[in-house]
Amino acid sequence: MLALVLAHLVVAAALPMVSARSRRAAFGVAAILPALTLVWALANAGPALGPGLTSTTAWAPTLGLELSFRLDALALAMIVLVSGIGAVILVYAMGYFGPTSEDATRSAALLLTFAGVMLGLVLADDLLTLYVFWELTSVTSFLLVGQSGEKRENRRAAVQALLVTVLGGLAMLLGFVLLGEAAGTYRISEIVAAPPTGPMVTAALPLILLGAFTKSAQLPFHPWLPAAMVAPTPVSAYLHAASMVKAGVYLVARLSPGFSDLAVWWVPVVVAGLGTMLIGGWRALYQTDLKRVLAFGTVSQLGFLMVLFGAGGRIAALGGIAMLLAHGLFKAPLFMIVGAVEHATGSRDLRKLSGLRTSMPGLAVAAAVAAASMAGLPPLLGFVGKETAFEAFLGEGGVRGWAIALGLLAGSVLTAAYSARFLWGMFAAKPGVAPTPVHAPGPLTTAPIWLSAAAGLALGIAYPLVDAPAEAYAGPGEYQLALWHGLGPPLLFSAIAIGGGLTVHVLRTRVDRLAKHSPFDAQHGYEGAIAGLERVAVAVTGRVQVGSLPAYLATIIVVVVVLIGPATLFGGAWPVGQPLYHSIIQVPLGLAVAVAALAVVKARRRFTAVLLVGVIGYGVAGLFIVDGAPDLALAQFLVETLSLVAFVFVLRRLPAHFTEQPSPRRTQWFRAGLAAVGGTVVAGGAVVLSAARVAPSSTSADFIALAPDGAGADNVIAAILVDFRALDTVGEIGVLFVAAAGVASLVLATRYDRKGLSASVESGQGSPRHEEDLVG
Amino acid sequence: MTIFDEWDAPREPWMLPGACRRGRTRRLLLEVAARTLFPTMLVFSLYLLLVGHYSPGGGFAAGLVAGLAFVLRHIAGGSVGFGMLVPVRPPVVIGSGLAIAVLTALVPLLVGSPALSSAKLAVDIPLLGPVSAQTSLFLDIGVYLLIVGVVVDLLRSLGAGIERDMREAEEWLP
């Protein structure tokens, strides 16, 4: 299964080559792999509905990390959405993106990448594997919403989606770690089979739910989903309706069998789910952009799915699987229809569209079929799912059962209402609005719409096909998915939902006026939170980064003194018989260093100070030679020379003298005292520490013994650098690499900042013109 | 300014890449010294690189020596870069150094040894006799290239970059 996921990524990486020849072919090639995945999953339906199909690849065995995958009933249902609808939408994208579209190449590769990582997510049987794919879907969603990044609204929506989902993702990772540690395993199937208990689990579950809620746009995190509608329609249909936003629902469905009897699990799920279903449905009623109508509808339906999977109970789970499939199969075609209509008319504003029923009759029928499934009309799959949902909670009875059932009923009324509003808004002939001129969409656009809308109808009639995975997920029992359960309360509820919805639609002018008065706006909450975060960041940076070198140095010295001073004083001992010097040449060298150090303090000119610092460096290098460390001395000499040169280069831009006005006497005394204490502590600490070693180091003995044969080097320093501790060397040159990039960009970037307006994208540091100027 | 300045300014192009500073800022002694020292320092840096396994030296020191050679040439002649026929940008050199080091670290994995392990390569060259080298020399070569690149990059940003700034701000006109 890992190979299947990786194949998606490999083909995605190769897609730009296909796209260079033909944009359409790129989407066509991209659709092949998801289609094959669907075939593979359906061919393995037998074992998947039974014990499940597993495969495991250990990638860091010593850490117990592995990539484990499992195909079971729930994963199968999700693959129908991820790969099945994915393939259909990729075919639709062939028609949607024009042959010259600049976004096509990137979108094709990213959509297939997304299909791959989403497949990994639904197949993952390991919490950490799941987390990795989870975040990868967030990243691909960010890139797909942001598109080329040229439009401000794209960037804002992409950042909002990323921030919200990644916030939840991080919380979820914490929850995963807690849960995995409590259970002693990160294998999801094992955790669900034998759910752990205890305070750690109680802490873990809300964190995991936070991840699920942000990903599936639950209250109060939902605004990112409508905002993400700035993405091209295939992206919205695929990521933000059919698959990615279901990841949170999927996670709840995955863990619910183990935890749905815990109040800490089902209460937040049911409350957030019902709230989301109602708010989303209500908001959908006054949107004028048809895509946003659908987006809020998706938010609402995700809440519905959350309730079904999170509340626990076999029948609710049956309804959950049915609604999961139904939602993908009606929401994807509805989005595609919006895209097709937008292409055909140039608008998706329901106040401007008129008379499309007569000019686009085919699409109108397809939309009616899909919207009927959304509203819950027989014999569509949406009806089957909704019936089962009502049955689950009406059958449960009690306060909880009735409360949930009535909540779902209210949500279903709204669902029926916005379904009607969508159909009316898109296709009806409106009085006072001239019929919108259209040019008919091609078969590449309409065929995928028909295929997925018809699938919703076919699965509704052939409900046993859905019942098989649903029962494999929920467990065997008496109640089964069916079109006709006889007259009873669920049927009555369905009828009320449809009737109520149509009534709300008929009274739409009044509802419009009412719906605009919304008590609170979650989007404002998000913007407030971001603005607050920025204010805090500015305040903290302003306090911590005061921009004064003496303040920074004082902080460092105080920390050194406070940490090292007492430890040296109480923990160490002055070495016995410490000679003042053991080679006469150390005396002049030491004196030179000390005199230079004292003279630096009195230096008035920067250039003098730099030269004196150089003297200190060379003196220390001389001491290294005397003590028999030629490698060290060589490096020290060279580095000292280079830093001297660098200083002199920089000094050309600085005033020749240090600041003219002397600082107040008290400050001077404080600094002198601090410097004296710091110097004494460091020097004293060095002497005391040199006495701490009482025997030759065993490590260096090994190094010396092994160097000639093991590393082929007589020079043990070289052997350590390039062989024994070679990893350190690689890491250090990596640091140098980053530092060089930093210096270059700081120095060269600021000069362009100063030039102000003339700084354009082309004159950046890496541009050829700039290189020419400098390298010649 | 003084007659000494005029007298000291050379008229012949002394620097190898051909680029010279303009008029008054040229110094004969510096240019002649750079002309001789520059190749010598480069050869010496190669010596340090190869001898590192047996005596003081190694990629880091060798890279610094080579870098200082470029610094000297810049101070004397004002040119930045490697002065090659095909212009090579310092970041490319830095990147290839890092790449060589990392590849050296990873190649042992291909033959089934742990990463970063080294082996002795011995060849019999006619006339010279047996020559052997440790594979960790490649790591040193990577370090060498990276350091040279870093120094020349520093020269580009702190040396030529600042010089250009000052010329534009008309603070200093060579």
A47 pLDDT higher than 50: yes
The mean per-residue pLDDT over the stretch B21-25 comes to: 63
Per-residue pLDDT tens over the stretch A524-550: 888 899 999 999 999 999 888 888 888
Q: Which of A645, A737, A744 sits opposite B146 (nearest CB)?
A: A737
SS3 state at A124:
strand
A450/A417 same-domain check: yes
Q: Determine, yes or no, domain membership for A172.
A: no
The mean per-residue pLDDT over the stretch A35-51 comes to: 92
A565/A588 same-domain check: yes
What lies within 8 Å, CB to CB, of A473 at 6+ separation is A72, A73, A74, A77, A253, A317, A321
Q: Any idea what DSSP says for residue A627?
A: T
Which residues 632-651 on chain A approach chain B with CB closer than 8 angstroms?
Answer: 633-635, 638-639, 641-642, 645-646, 649-650
Predicted local distance difference test score (pLDDT) of residue A414? 94
Q: Determine, yes or no, domain membership for A758.
A: yes
Among A496, A525, A545, identify where a domain stops. A545
Among A694, A717, A739, identify where a domain stops. A694
A749 pLDDT higher than 70: no
Greater confidence (A723 vs A756) lies with: A723
Tell me how far the alpha carbon of residue B57 is from its chain's centroid.
15
A363/A272 same-domain check: yes
A774 pLDDT higher than 50: no
Per-residue pLDDT tens over the stretch A591-626: 999 999 999 988 889 999 999 999 999 999 999 999
A403/A463 same-domain check: yes
A397/A521 same-domain check: no
Predicted local distance difference test score (pLDDT) of residue B6? 61
A750/A616 same-domain check: no
Greater confidence (A275 vs A582) lies with: A275
Q: Determine, yes or no, domain membership for A572.
A: yes
A674/A645 same-domain check: yes
Which residues 6-45 on chain B approach chain A with CB closer than 8 angstroms?
Answer: 19
Q: Which of A631, A722, A746 to mutate to test the interface with B (most CBs of B within 10 A)?
A: A722
Chain A nearest CA to B127, separation (Å): 24
Residue B132 host element (H or E): strand B129-134
A497/A538 same-domain check: no
Is the preceding omega at residue B130 within 30 degrees of 0, hence cis?
A: no
Q: How many domains does chain A have?
A: 4
Residue A762, number of CB atoms within 10 A of its CB: 9
Residue B106, number of CB atoms within 10 A of its CB: 11
Cβ neighbours of A614 in B, within 8 Å:
none
Please state which of the ranges A98-102, A195-199, A471-475 shows the lowest mean pLDDT. Answer: A98-102
The mean per-residue pLDDT over the stretch A399-425 comes to: 93
The share of chain A scoring above pLDDT 90, in percent, equals: 56
Chain B nearest CA to A288, separation (Å): 53
Identify which of A627, A550, A551, A554 has the alpha carbon closest to the alpha carbon of residue A585.
A627
Q: Name the residue of chain A whose CA is nearest to B52's CA.
A: A718
Q: Determine, yes or no, domain membership for A657.
A: yes
Please state which of the ranges A416-420, B41-45, B100-104 shows the lowest mean pLDDT. Answer: B100-104
Predicted local distance difference test score (pLDDT) of residue A272? 94
Look at the block and give the residue holding tokens 């002394």: B14
Q: How many residues does chain A have?
A: 776
Please state which of the ranges A75-84, A393-402, A506-515, A602-611 shows the lowest mean pLDDT. Answer: A506-515
Greater confidence (A359 vs A696) lies with: A359
A736–B contact, CB cutoff 8 A:
yes
B115 pLDDT higher than 80: no
What sign does the CA torsion over B7, B12, B17, B19 have? positive
A328/A470 same-domain check: yes
Predicted local distance difference test score (pLDDT) of residue A384? 92
Structural domain boundaries, residue A374: 260-430+444-506
Q: Give A719's pLDDT tier (boundaries 50, 70, 90).
A: confident
**Highest-confidence range of A254-263, A435-444, B26-35, B130-139, by mean pLDDT?**
A254-263
CB A301 within 8 A of CB A331: yes
The mean per-residue pLDDT over the stretch A292-299 comes to: 94
Predicted local distance difference test score (pLDDT) of residue A454? 93
Cβ distance A744 to B153 less than 8 Å, yes or no, reads yes
Per-residue pLDDT tens over the stretch A245-256: 999 999 999 999
A483/A534 same-domain check: no
Tell me if the pTM is above 0.90: no
CA B128 – CA A687 distance, rounded (Å): 51
B85 pLDDT higher than 70: no
Indicate which CATH number applies to the domain containing A678.
1.20.120
Q: Determine, yes or no, domain membership for A52.
A: no
CA angle (A256 as vertex; A255, A259 as ends), nearest 5:
90
Chain B nearest CA to A747, separation (Å): 6
A541/A557 same-domain check: no
Q: Name the residue of chain A whose CA is nearest to B116's CA.
A: A726
CA A603 – CA B163 distance, rounded (Å): 26
A498/A403 same-domain check: yes
Cβ neighbours of A715 in B, within 8 Å:
52-58
Q: Determine, yes or no, domain membership for A561.
A: yes
Q: What is the ipTM of this complex?
A: 0.87
Cβ distance A747 to B89 less than 8 Å, yes or no, reads no
Identify which of A106, A115, A122, A109 has the alpha carbon closest to the alpha carbon of residue A73.
A122
B66 pLDDT higher than 60: yes
Q: Which of A639, A730, A733 sits opposite B64 (nearest CB)?
A: A639
